Amino acid sequence: MSRQVFWFSLVMIVYPYFGYPLVLYLFGKLKAVKTSQGMPAGDFTPAVTLLIPAHNEEGTIESKIRNSLSLEYPREKLQIVVVSDGSTDATNAIVRKYRDDGVTFIGLERRRGKAQALNTGLAAATGDIVVFTDASILLEPDSMRCIVKRFREEEIGCVSGSDRILDGGGEGMYGRYELFLRNLESEIHSIVGASGSFYAQRRRICTPFLEGMAPDFLSALTTVEKGYRAVTESTATGHMASAKEARDEFRRKERTILRGMTTLYHKRNLLNPSRYGIFSISLWSHKVSRWLVPFFMILLFASNAFLLEERFYGATFIAQCIFYLAACGSFLGTGMSRSPLSKIPYYFCLSNVAILFATMKYATGIRQEIWSPTKR
């Protein structure tokens, strides 16, 4: 029995991270969708609203506004809206300085959460395309043209940009892995989630954001539900710093997963393969199976402990112990933390512990209603 549990657990751990990308790659060879990804942006410049929600972002908001004003996009077609969600620092005063430059400022007197901030911004939006972006990410000059060019295709309803983590260690590697997956998903049908810090959606298919749910995930799911495709555009890039503290990154992961679970339950009809085909399989593989990984990690370790009399399983048990020791070493800042290889087990373990905590909160009815930007 222990052998069966061991091998089943191993398969369930490997599949979402290695098996699923392989399935996407092979399926893409058989049925790839022709796209304009990577093609020159050209002269396609629809009216765009750049929507920036902010809460106590005095350290980043000015550079974000300057970055937005410097984008290579016709100024008369670019509306910049900053919604301050009950900020108590200098955020509001900084944004007001740029009103004469055409920046629309909306200040909410009390903190109401990211969903309400986005809904307030949407109500003021005038562009055909709404680009959602965080204050912490700085966009490349041509990123606006690159992300909106995909909307030439009528079937495209949502486009994710590429957020690059600077000096991110495990976080940066994970980000690159997610971008790789999105590219594969885009070639077949749709991505299952957009970049939370930089993505765009047709305004006519935007629906009100709901508190306690992940806006980027909800936008992608709503897009597919309405009969459009959600894709990624690798040339639309932005750069952001990695989280300053492990505690901040853990909280961000836990919050993201909890809100993702809440969102997927709200849109659980999309998990039906008979109605949504390959997209449903992607949801099961990219999201649900990954959320199950920490439980299979526990089963793998426990079942392995009952098989130590056999040489092969003794070696796998030692390998697991080394993996977890490397993660602990990176967390504690020992000599192992200087090795790039130790950052992989560290971030993998951090992510899966965050999944465990998020699952416990979800199961006990705890929801994340108020949004706190990660310190970067």
Over residues 256-311, the pLDDT tens digits come to: 999 999 999 999 999 999 999 999 999 999 999 999 999 999 999 999 999 999 99
State the average pLDDT over residues 161-166.
86
Q: What's the rounded mean pLDDT across residues 349-376?
A: 83
Distance CA 182, CA 292 (A): 20
If you classify domain 48-243 with CATH, what class do you get?
alpha beta
pLDDT of 38 strictly over 60: no
Which residues, in sequence order, are CB contacts of 77 under 8 Å at separation 6+?
Answer: 45, 46, 47, 48, 127
Beta bridge partners of 166: 241
Q: Let me know how long the chain is.
A: 376
Mean pLDDT of 331-339: 57
Mean pLDDT of 75-82: 97
**Is residue 288 within 8 Å of residue 243, measured between CB atoms?**
no
Q: Which of 8, 142, 139 is nearest to 67 (CA)?
A: 139
Asked if the model's pLDDT at residue 168 lies above 60, the reply is: no
More confident residue, 176 or 9: 9
Torsion from C-alpha of 317, 322, 328, 332, nearest 10 degrees: 160
Task: Tell me: pLDDT of 81 over 80.
Answer: yes
Q: Which amino acid would we find at residue 201? A: Q
Query: Which of the four pLDDT bands, split at 50, 70 and 90, describes residue 214?
Result: very high
336 pLDDT exceeds 60? no
Mean pLDDT for the stretch of residues 10-23: 97
Pull the structure tokens for residue 65. Answer: 């506004």
Whether 114 has a pLDDT exceeding 70, the answer reads: yes
Distance CA 207, CA 223 (A): 10
User: Within 10 A of 1 (CB to CB), how many other CB atoms are there?
Assistant: 7
Q: Is the pTM of this model over 0.85?
A: yes
Q: What is the identity of the amino acid at 95?
A: V
The answer to whether 105 and 99 are in contact (CB under 8 A) is yes
Contact (CB, 8 A) for 243 and 252: yes
Q: Mean pLDDT, the chain, as a whole number?
A: 91
Q: What is the pLDDT of residue 96?
A: 97
Surface-to-core class of residue 363, CB atoms within 10 Å of its CB (0-12 exposed, 13-18 middle, 19+ buried)? exposed
C-alpha dihedral (80, 205, 116, 372), degrees to nearest 10 = -80
Cβ-based neighbours of 220, under 8 Å, separated by 6 or more: 158, 160, 190, 191, 192, 193, 194, 230
Closest of 366, 364, 352 to residue 292, by C-alpha: 352
Average pLDDT over residues 316-344: 78
89's enclosing H/E stretch is none
Quick one: pLDDT band at residue 37, thresholds 50, 70, 90?
low
